[in-house]
Amino acid sequence: MVVLNVWKNLTLVYLGIVIVCLGGCTKKPTNLQLEVWRKEASDSNAEILADKAKNNSQRQWNLVIQGETKDGKSKTLNWTELLKLATTNINTIDANNIITPNQVFKFQGIPVSTLLKNFGVPPEVTEITFVCYDAYQVTVKIQDLLTYPIILALAKDDKPIQRDQGGPLYLIFPYTEYPQIRQKYNEGSWAFYVTHVIFGTEKALVRVGERELNLAALDKLPQVTLNQNVGYRVWWPSSKVKLHGVRVRDVLSLAGIKPQSSVIVTGKPAIYRRNSEPTELASTDINNCNVILATRWGENKQPILAKMGGPVTLAFGNDCPSKTKNKRWVTFVEELTPQI
C-alpha cells in the first residue's frame, strides 16, 4: 500500500487520514477530527501563504514542464500562456471540500492531455509527476490522462482559485462524471498549487558551486549504501530499503569545494528555496556521518523515479546525530550551495 506524503498542506483533509492510517487505525474519522486536522494543516501552512503574499497574483505564477519530453528540454509556461490553454470545463465535486462534500463546482483549466500533445512523450514513458510548491507530489498514469479529462484548474465557478483553496493551479479529477477514477486516484491525489510537471523522470544533474555534475560524474565517486527507512513515504515501502549514493562531502570535494561553515541543499519545489527555512547542513555533520545524495535504491539498484522524489534525493544515515538525521529529506535535489 502506498503511503502518501503528509507534507500536503492547508485544507487537504486527507492529511489527517494519512496520519491516522500511519498509526494503524482503520476507523473512519469523525467530522470533529477532520476539522481539528484541517485547522492544524492550515496553521502549518500560514508561513507559506505569508511568504507568497506579496507575489500572490496569479499573473506571477508559472508552470515548468520538464523530464522526458519529446525534445528533452525544460519549458516554462507563464500565466498568459496557461490561460490560453485553459479551454476545458469540468463539473465535479471538490475532494477537499468537507463543508458541502456533495456540492458540484465548475472547474476551468488545462487538460493534462493537452500538455502531453504539445510537448510530446516517448512511448517508453508511462507516467507524469506533478510537483507542488510545498514539495507534495502526485503521479498519474499517462493512459489515465488520455482516458479521463484530468485538468490543472485555474478557475472555480468562474473565479480564480485562491491559495487557501489549492490555487493558482489545482490538479483535479472528474469524480462526478467518472466516479470509477476515484478508485485509482483518491482524495490525496488532488494536488494544490502545482509548479512543475515532470514527464517520466529527469536525468540526474546537480549544480555544486560553479560545476554541474551528472550521474556519470557521481558514479565515479565512492559509493555508499544505507539500509533504513526513507525519511518521506511517497511511493516508498514502509519497511527498510537500501539507498545507494554518494556522500555529500565527496561531491563537494569533486567540485573543489571545502565549506567553512555549512551547505544549503535545494530541490525543485519552491519551499526548499525559501530563505526562512533552508535545509542547511553543518560541515561537521557532512564530514562525520553519512549524509548522501541517493541516486538508486533496492537490491537491484533501481533508479529513483520522479514519483519517489528522484532522480536525486538527500538522505541521512542512521549514524548521524539525531538533530541531523531528523532534518527534512530533500526531494528532486538540484543544487548544493556552500556557505562561506
Say whether 147 sits in a helix, a strand or coil.
helix
Relative to beta strand 159-160, strand 151-156 is antiparallel
User: CA-to-CA distance for 113 and 111, rounded, in angstroms?
Assistant: 5
Residue of 86, 204, 185 whose CA lies nearest to 144: 185
Read off the C-alpha cell for 93: 465535486
- Asked whether 296 and 204 are in contact (CB, 8 A), the reply is no
Say whether 209 sits in a helix, a strand or coil.
coil
Q: What pLDDT digit, counting tens, does each position of 78-123 carry?
A: 999 999 999 999 999 999 998 999 999 999 999 999 999 999 999 9
Relative to beta strand 291-297, strand 241-247 is antiparallel
Amino acid residing at 292: I
Residue 339 Cα distances to 59, 98, 118, 141, 263, angstroms: 33, 45, 41, 40, 6
Question: Which pLDDT belongs to residue 254?
Answer: 92
Say whether 152 sits in a helix, a strand or coil.
strand
pLDDT in tens, the chain (340 residues): 233 333 344 434 333 333 333 333 334 555 555 555 455 555 455 444 444 444 445 668 999 999 999 988 899 999 999 999 999 999 999 999 989 999 999 999 999 999 999 999 999 999 999 999 999 999 999 999 999 999 999 999 999 998 888 899 999 999 999 999 999 999 999 999 999 999 999 999 999 988 999 999 999 999 999 999 998 877 898 899 999 999 999 999 999 887 667 899 999 998 887 766 788 898 888 988 999 999 999 999 999 999 999 999 999 999 998 888 888 899 999 999 988 7
List, in sequence order, every residue forming a beta bridge with 298; answer none if it has no partner: none
User: CA-to-CA distance for 91 and 104, rounded, in angstroms?
Assistant: 6
Residue of 302, 207, 216 whose CA lies nearest to 255: 207
Largest Cα separation within the chain, whole Å, is 59
